[in-house]
Amino acid sequence: MIGDFDERPWGAWQVLDEGEGFKVKRIVVKAHQRLSYQTHEHRAEHWSIVSGRATCVVDGETVLAGPGESVDVEIGQAHRITNREDYPLILIEVQRGAYCGEDDICRLEDDYGRASVAVSA
C-alpha cells in the first residue's frame, strides 16, 4: 500500500508507489548495516543509489555503487545490500514482477536471526 513504512534492524523502507506488476520503495540503510542475503521467486529489483555508497552482492559478485549509479537483480538471483560507510545509504528500489508482496523473500543469510524461509523483509 502506498505510504506503507516499516523500520527494520538495518534501517527502514517506505512505499512511494505501487500498481499492477510494480512497487517503488525508498530504502534507508543505517551506517555499517546490511540487509539479508536473499532471493525472490516472483520479482526482479532495480536499485538506484541516491546518497551514500552501496556494496551490493548479486549472485556472489560484488558491485560498488554510488549516487546516480544503479544495480539490477533478476528474479531468483541471490542478493544483498551493505552500507560500509559512517553515514546512511539512501536508495530507490523498483520491484517488477507478477507479485511484489513482502512475503516473497527467502533469506539465505541474516545478521539479525530472522528465519531463512519466505517471510517479511
Q: Which residues contact 41 (CB under 8 A, 6 or more apart)?
A: 75, 76, 104, 106, 118
Distance from C-alpha of 65 to C-alpha of 45, rounded to nearest angstrom: 15
The domain segmentation of the chain, as residue ranges, is: 5-109
Q: How is residue 32 written as a grid cell?
A: 555499517
Hey, what amino acid is at 38?
A: Q
pLDDT one-digit tens code per residue, 25-45: 999 999 999 999 999 999 999
Grid coordinates 539512501 are at which residue? 90
Domain 5-109 is in which class?
mainly beta
* Assessment of whether the complete model's pTM goes beyond 0.85: yes
Sheet holding 89-97, edge to edge: 5-8, 11-19, 22-29, 89-97, 43-51, 70-73
Say yes or no to pLDDT of 98 above 50: yes
Query: Would the pLDDT of 118 be above 70?
Result: no
The residue count for the chain: 121
List the beta bridge partners of residue 17.
24
C-alpha cell at 20: 499492477
Dmax (CA) of the chain:
37
